[in-house]
Amino acid sequence: MLSSNHALDTGRIHTLESFSAVDGPGIRAMVFLQGCHLGCPYCHNKDTWSHTGGTEMTVTAVMDFIEGYRSFFELSGGGVTFSGGEPLLQGPFLLSLLKACREKGIHTALETSGHGIELCDDAKISAKALAKEIIEQVDLVILDVKRPGQPLEAAPVFIRQLAKSHQPVWLRYVELPSPLTAPERVATFGKSFSGLERIEPLAYHELLGTCSCATFIEV
């Protein structure tokens, strides 16, 4: 089992990318966090899964990177997007980064599956509280919905908290060949989020060899 990351000041980073226009509004810098526990068969970032890969970096170092692109953000209504891997696995570290960006007036977006914050649960702060704080500090959540058919009560704590907030939300889902990802199902799921701004389907692709999506879909 993975060990949860309680550190506030350091975390593991897979990639720092200076430019994206497809991960949120405007020109965005990307911070891809290391580590993911989901193992989606169609994943195109398999080298982000390992929890020991990537590079350890401090909040300061990551902020130094982000702030260098400030003028691009200002010119385009952009900001920084935290992605991965699953950023929620490093919840406390992510929260520090979000707070630092908020302080500096930099718009933030979070690309997440909504899963994984439970693994950060510890005595200092509950998963629920952590989720709530993250949602409060981030400007936009881009939720990559893995199980749109799942009722809200059964969804992970982050998704349940998100449904209670009014934060702007974009939903993304991979168009698996399954009734579970039928657009109507996703649209229904989307109604749970008062801040929903858009829904984006992503075409299903197999990148690194063959896979069977049947191994992933649970009825």
Q: Is 123 in the site for another protein (CB under 8 A)?
A: no
User: What's the Rg (C-alpha) of the chain?
Assistant: 16
CA of 216: how far to CAs of 1, 5, 211, in Å? 20, 26, 10
Ranges within 173-202 binding another protein (CB under 8 A): 200-202
Query: Which two structure tokens, joined as six digits, stand for 119?
Result: 């693994």
Report angle CA 51, 60, 77 to the nearest 5 degrees. 95
Q: Please answer whether residues 24 and 17 qualify as being in contact, where contact means their C-beta atoms are separated by less than 8 angstroms.
A: no
Give the residue with the Cβ less far from another protein, 202 or 213.
202
Residue 41 half-sphere exposure toward CB, CA atoms < 13 A: 12
Reported as half-sphere exposure (CB side, CA atoms, 13 A), residue 149 has a value of 9
Interacting span for another protein (CB under 8 A) from 72-80, 88-96, 146-154, 186-194: 72-80
Sites for another protein among residues 29-68 (CB under 8 A): 29-30, 32, 44-45, 48, 65, 68
Residue from 58, 172, 211, 217 in contact with another protein (CB under 8 A):
172
The footprint of another protein on residues 11-30 (CB under 8 A) is: 14-23, 26-27, 29-30
Here the tokens at position 173 are 């889902």
CA 92 to chain centre: 14
In the complex, least distance from residue 2 CB atom to another protein, rounded to whole angstroms: 20
Q: How far is the CB of 132 from another protein (least distance, A)?
A: 24
* CA–centroid distance for 40 within its chain: 14
- Shortest Cβ distance from residue 150 to another protein (Å)? 21
User: Is the CB of 83 or the CB of 127 nearer to another protein?
Assistant: 83
Q: Please report, as residue ranges, which positions from 85 to 114 form the binding site for another protein (by CB under 8 A).
A: 111
* Distance, first Cα to last Cα, the chain: 25
Between 15 and 58, CB nearer to another protein: 15
Closest distance of CB 97 from another protein, Å: 17
Is 133 near another protein (CB under 8 A)? no
d(Cα 47, Cα 83) in Å, to the nearest integer? 13
Q: Does 150 interact with another protein (rule: CB under 8 A)?
A: no
From the list 17, 3, 120, the residue with the least C-alpha distance to 62 is 17
Residues that bind another protein (CB under 8 A): 14-23, 26-27, 29-30, 32, 44-45, 48, 65, 68-69, 71-72, 75-76, 78, 83, 111, 144, 172, 200-203, 205, 207-208
